Structure 1
Amino acid sequence: MNRLLIISLLLCCALRLSAQTKPAIIPLPAKMEERKGTFIIDKNVYVSYPTAALKGLAGFAQSALKETTGIAPGLRIGMWTQKGAKTISLIIDPKVTAAEGYTLEVTTNKISIKARTENGLFYGIQTLVQLVPVKGDKKLSCVYIEDEPRFSWRGMLFDSCRHIFSVDFIKKFIDQLAKHKLNKLHWHLTEDQGWRIEIKKYPRLQEVAAYRNGTQIGPDRKKDVDSIRYGGYYTQEQIKEVVAYATSRYVEVIPEIEMPGHSVAAITAYPYLACGDVSFENGKPFEVRKVWGVSKDLYCAGNDSVFTFLQDVLNEVMPLFPSQYIHIGGDEAPHDAWHKCPKCQDRMKKEGLKDEAALQSWFIQRMEKFINSKGKKIIGWEEIMQGGLADNATVHSWLGVQSGLKAAKSGHDAIMSPYSHMYFDGYQADPKIEPMAIGYWVPLDSAYAFEPVHPALTETEAKHILGAQANLWTEFIGTEDYFQYMVFPRISALSEVDWTPKSLKNFADFKTRLNTQYQRYDKQGIKFRIPVPESVTAAGTDAQVKLTLNDPTKAGVIRYSLDGSDVTATSAVYKQPLDVKEGATVRYALFYNDRKSSTDYFPKPAKKKK
C-alpha cells in the first residue's frame, strides 16, 4: 500500500510538473515536438553567432533573456566551446525555405536557432523567450520547432491623430508587435482632428493644423466638446527615430497621409486647398475639427495647387520611410462639395468623367502615378475602388471582406481589416460594463475567429490576400493605459490569425495558452484587459438558482456582492457556487494582482424597448 501511495504521489507530481512546463507559445508555431529534459538558463550559458553581421541579433537575444530570466548570457563569435558551457547558437541556414521561418531545437545542453534570414532568427529568439517559465526556475522544456508565418502582412494601425502618444510609448508598442511576430506598423499621421508630421515647406501644418481648440467628450451621438487646446506633432527627427527603432525589430512602418477626405486640419492651415473660402458644412471659417465622424470638407479635386501641396508633402514624407508603401487613405470622402464646386465640375468635363466617384478615382490615380514615380506603391481604404481602381493599388478592406475579395479576384493585393473582427477600438464585452468605446462589439473570440482568405477565392487569387491587420482608432482612447486595455489580449488573437496555420487554430487551446500570456503581460507592465469571470447557472430550489463563477485566467481572485453594491478589494471572496434567490442581484469581478476586471452582474437587466 505504501509503495502504491508513493507511486501515485510521484505520478501526480509529474503530471503537475508537465502541466506547468508545457510551452504556451503565442502565436502557436506551425510544428512543435515536445521532448524529454530541460535546458537550464544560468551563468554558464552563452550566445554564439557565426559572423560580426549577426552581433546585433545576438545582443538582442542577450537582452531579451536578461529581461525574462534576470541572467544576461555572454556573447561569443564563431564556433565557440568551453568545458561546462551551454550555448545558444544563431545559425544562418539556407535550407530553411521560408524567408521569415526558423527552426528551434532545445536540448539539455544546447539551443540552436536556424533561419535563412535575420528576420527568421529574430522570430526564433522571440519563441525561445516564451519557452522560459514566467514563474519559478529558469528551466526550458526541450522541444523541436519548425515555424513560419502564414501571411507576409501582419500588422496593426496606430492612430496618432485623434490622440497623440509619445515616441517612447510608440517604441514600447513596437516591442509588443515584435513579441507577437507582427511586422507592419500602419501609422496614421494626418486627419481632420490633427496633422501630426512635420513638413518643413508648410510651417502652418505645425503651427495651425497640429492643434485643435477642443475635443469631443462623451458618446459619439451627443457631440459635446470641451474647450481645452489639444495637439502636437512629431518632428522629422522623431519620425526617423521611430522608424529606425522599428527596423531594429523587423517592423516596417507605413505612413498614412489622408486624401482627398479627412483633410480638415490641413485645409484649416491652408484654406486655398478646399472648394470654397469657408466650410461647406456650416459656412463658417475652417477650424481643426473638434468632434469625431466624417466631414464634408475635403481637398478640391479641381485645384492644381492641391496636387502641388500633396506632392510637396510626400516629397518630405517618403524619404523618412523606407517602406515600399504609402497609405493614402481615400475613405469617407463625401462628394457634396465637389458636386457644387465649379472647379471640380470643370475638371470632370475636361477629363470626361461621368460623376464625382469617377473624379475621386481620377484623383487617386493621379497621386498614384506620382508615388509610383518615386519607387513607392499606394495602399488605400476600399473606397478607392469607387469609380475604378488605380492600376497598382493595394486595397485595404474594412467595411467587410467583399472589397478585399473583389480586389483579389481582379488581381490586386488586399489587406483584410473588417471592423466586425479587426477594429480593436470596439467594445470587448457588454457596453454597460466596459469603458466608453466607439460603438461596435469585437470580443476576443470574434477577433480570433477571423479568417482572412474567403472560401470563394481560388488558390491563385488567395495569394493576393497579404494578411490581416487590426486597427486601433483613438477617438475615445486618450491614455496609454486605455490604449493597452483595448489592444491586449486581442493582439494575441491577431497574431494567430496572421501567423498560425489555419488547421491548427483552436480557441479553447488558445485560451489555455493565454493564461500564461496574461502573466507575461503583467510582468512586462502591460495594462491588459482583465477578463470578467465566466458565469454558469443551474436550477436550484425555492425560486432560486445556483450561480457558478469561473476565473478565465486561473490566476486571480473572484470577489462578489449580494446586495447590488460595487465590488471592491474588501468584498467577499468567491469559493463555491452561490445560491441566488429571486430578486437578488449579484455583482462580481476578477482581481488580478492590484487590478480588477470590469464588474459584471447577475441577473442581467432586461433590455429597454425602443
Structure 2
Amino acid sequence: MLIPRPTELSIGEGVFELTRVTRITAPAELAGAASWLQNSLRPATGFPIETGPDGAIQLEWDPQLSPEGYTLDVELTGIRIAGGGPAGVFYGCQALLQLLPPQIYRKGRVLGEQWVVPVVSIRDAPRFGWRGVMLDVARHFMPKHDVMRFIDLMAMHRLNTLHLHLTDDQGWRVEIKRYPRLTEVGSWRRESQLGGASYSRGDSRPHGGFYTQDDLREIVSYATDRAINVVPEIDMPGHTQSAIAAYPELGLAREDSEPLGVWTRWGIDDNVINLEDSTVEFFTNVLDEVMEIFPSPFIGVGGDECPKNGWRLDERTQQRKAELGLASEDELQAWFIGRLDDHLSRKGRRLYGWDEILEGGLTGSVSAGATVASWRGMTGAITAARAGHDVVSCPDNQVYLDYRQSERSDEPIPVGTVLTIADVYRFDPVPPELTPDEARHVLGGQGNIWTEHMDSPRTVDYFAFPRLCALAEALWLDGERDYDDFLFRLDTHLQRLDAIGVEYRRSSGPRPWQERPGVIGRPVTPQQRTAYFSPLTSRIEGA
C-alpha cells in the first residue's frame, strides 16, 4: 500500500470519502502542513478543501512521538494525523495522500473518481535520521524548477536530506558575489564528453548554468517546507578546474601560458589548487557566502579524488610542505581540510566530506564534529565510526544510482557495476563489523546520482526511479524487510509516479527514447573495481 512501508499498519472495514465540504483543522503552528495538504488535494479533486474548526481532517501534535514519528487514524467519519514535530505531521500527510487513488497526484481535475481512503490505523517512525540523495548539478546543470520537482519526489518518499553537489571540474553552479568570475567563467564549458570511454569524442555543444543566491534561498525554503535539509557541497582541493579557470592564481604553476578552461572531460582531472594561505582564504570566503545561503548544520567540502602528483612535482608546493612540517601529500590534503574544518567549526557548522578526508589522519586534523560520507565501500564508515566520527554510508557498489541497471546492451551509457532494485533494497548503512556504540555514529545513508551521462531531468528520472523507492524504504523501515511485499506495493506506487509524470525505468527495460545507441559506457568488472579501489582502501586503513 505505502512506500516506504510503515512500522505498524492495521486495516479496518469501510472507507472515509473526501467530498466538497471536507475541511482541515490544524493549530496555527501547523498552518504550513495544512496548506501543503490543501494544495495537494485540490487539483485532482476540484474540491476547495478549506480550513476551519471541526474539520473532518485534523492535524495535531503528539509529544509522545519522535520529531519524525507520526500516527494516522482513518475512521468512517474523519481522519486524525498527529506528529511529534512538523516533519512527523508532514509525513502523516504524505501517507494520507498515498492512501487515496493514484490519480490524486495529477495536477488537473480528474472526473469520475471516488476519493476514498480505507479505514486504517498507522504508527510509524524512521530508523535513520539521515535519509538522503546526493544530486550532482555540476556535471549537468539542472534548472531550478526541476530541482524543486526532485525535492517533491524526495518528500513523497520521506527522504529528508538533499546533498547538492554544486561545483566540480566541469562547472561551478553557485553565485559567489565576492568572486563573480566563478559563474561568469566557471559556470559553462564549451562541450561535453559524449560517452564513458577515455577516447569518447566531445559533443561540440556548450553547456552551462548556475543558481543565483536568491535561487538557492528559494530552493532551501521550498525544501524546508517539505522537511528536507539541503546540504551544499563545494568540492576541493581536487575537482576544482572550473574555479582555476576563473581564477588562475588558485592553480599550480604552469610552464605553458595558455590558461586552463572549464574541463570538458569526465573522470579525475589532474589539475588541483595550490595550498597557499591566499587560496585557503579564497575558499573560506566562498564558504562564508555558502553558509549565508544554507542554514544546514553540515557543509560539504568534498575532499575526494584529489590527485597528488601535481603537488609532488610542484616546487612551491614542496616548499610549502616543508614549511608546514608535513611528511606527505596525504598530510598536505589533511592540513587543507583541517583549515576548512577550523573555519566551519568557528561558525557553528560541521564539515561533511567524502571518505578521502580520512587519508593523512582524520582524527588529528579535524574536529570531532567532522562527518564522513563513506563511498568506497564501507571501509570509510568502519574507520570513521571507530574513530568517533559520524558517518553517512553511500557505498558505490550498493547505492550509486548512476550505475547501470542491468546487463542489457540497450541500457543508456552503462557505467559501473549492475545495481538492480533488489540490490538497492538490501542496502544497510550500518556495517556489521561495528559494535552497538560504534554503530550509533552511523547517521544513516544516501543514494548518489552523478550526472556525467544524465543531460536532462528525464534521464535523471530513468536512473533514479524506481531504485530510489527501494532506497527510501531501506533507510526508513525499522524492522524486517520483505522484497516480494515491496514489489507488490511498488505496482501501485508506479501508478502514482505515472500520474506525476516520472519517466522511470520499466521492468521490461528502457523505452526507445531512453536508449543511447552508439554511445558507449564504462563497464567495470569486479577485477577492475578491486584494482582501482585497493590502493585507496589501504590508505584509509592506515589512517
Residue 131 of structure 1 aligns with which residue?
99
1:289 aligns with 2:263: yes
State the Cα distance separating 1:277 from its structure 2 match: 3.1
Amino acid at match of 1:368: D
Residue 475 of structure 1 aligns with which residue?
452
1:264–1:289: 8 Å Cα contact kept in structure 2?
yes
Structure 2 Cα separation of the partners of residues 272 and 234 of structure 1: 24
Structure 1 Cα separation of the partners of residues 290 and 201 of structure 2: 34
Structure 2 Cα separation of the partners of residues 468 and 278 of structure 1: 44
Residue 340 of structure 1 aligns with which residue?
313
Question: Normalising by the residue count of structure 1, what TM-score does the alignment of the two structures yield?
Answer: 0.80
Which runs of structure 2 are paired with 1:23-422 in the superposition (5 Å)? 24-49=1-26, 51-67=27-43, 69-76=45-52, 80-81=53-54, 87-96=56-65, 98-134=66-102, 136-277=113-254, 285-301=259-275, 303-389=276-362, 390-391=366-367, 392-422=369-399
Deviates more, 1:315-324 or 1:126-135: 126-135
Structure 2 Cα separation of the partners of residues 528 and 325 of structure 1: 31
Equivalent pairs, count: 503
Q: Partner of 2:185: helix, strand, or coil?
A: helix
Structure 1 Cα separation of the partners of residues 75 and 227 of structure 2: 28
1:8-58 C-alpha deviation (Å, 9 max, x unpaired): xxxxxxxxxxxxxxxx10000111111122111112321111x22222211
Structure 1 Cα separation of the partners of residues 203 and 99 of structure 2: 48
Amino acid at match of 1:319: E
Structure 2 Cα separation of the partners of residues 219 and 261 of structure 1: 20
Residue 530 of structure 1 aligns with which residue?
506
1:104–1:145: 8 Å Cα contact kept in structure 2?
yes
1:244-281 C-alpha deviation (Å, 9 max, x unpaired): 111111111111001100000101111111111358xx
1:438–1:476: 8 Å Cα contact kept in structure 2?
no
Deviates more, 1:216-225 or 1:488-497: 216-225
Amino acid at match of 1:224: R
1:390-444 C-alpha deviation (Å, 9 max, x unpaired): 2231010001011111111211100011111111111111240211133332111
Residue 493 of structure 2 aligns with which residue?
517
Inter-CA distance 596–286: structure 2 relative to 1 (3 Å threshold): closer
State the Cα distance separating 1:596 from its structure 2 match: 9.0
Unaligned runs of 5+ in 1: 1-23, 534-588, 600-610
> Match for 1:487 among 464, 475, 482?
464
Structure 1 Cα separation of the partners of residues 146 and 57 of structure 2: 31
Structure 2 Cα separation of the partners of residues 440 and 58 of structure 1: 44
Residue 430 of structure 1 aligns with which residue?
407
2:129–2:444: 8 Å Cα contact kept in structure 1?
yes
State the Cα distance separating 1:348 from its structure 2 match: 1.8
1:68–1:132: 8 Å Cα contact kept in structure 2?
no
Question: Normalising by the residue count of structure 2, what TM-score does the alignment of the two structures yield?
Answer: 0.89
Residue 441 of structure 1 aligns with which residue?
418
Which is richer in strand?
1
Deviates more, 1:59-68 or 1:246-255: 59-68
Inter-CA distance 35–397: structure 2 relative to 1 (3 Å threshold): same
1:199–1:316: 8 Å Cα contact kept in structure 2?
yes
Q: Partner of 1:25: helix, strand, or coil?
A: coil
Residue 536 of structure 2 aligns with which residue?
none
Deviates more, 1:341-350 or 1:264-273: 341-350
Structure 2 Cα separation of the partners of residues 311 and 278 of structure 1: 28
2:462–2:514: 8 Å Cα contact kept in structure 1?
no
2:196–2:266: 8 Å Cα contact kept in structure 1?
no
1:258–1:330: 8 Å Cα contact kept in structure 2?
yes
Percent identical pairs in the alignment equals 39
Which is richer in helix?
2
Deviates more, 1:323-332 or 1:432-441: 432-441
1:81-136 C-alpha deviation (Å, 9 max, x unpaired): 3xxxx61100111122x110011111110110111211110000000111112265
Unaligned runs of 5+ in 2: 104-112, 517-543
2:134–2:448: 8 Å Cα contact kept in structure 1?
yes
Greater length-normalized contact order (CA 8 Å, ≥ 6 residues apart): 2
Inter-CA distance 194–216: structure 2 relative to 1 (3 Å threshold): same
Larger Rg: 1
State the Cα distance separating 1:207 from its structure 2 match: 1.5
Structure 2 Cα separation of the partners of residues 40 and 221 of structure 1: 59
1:30–1:500: 8 Å Cα contact kept in structure 2?
yes
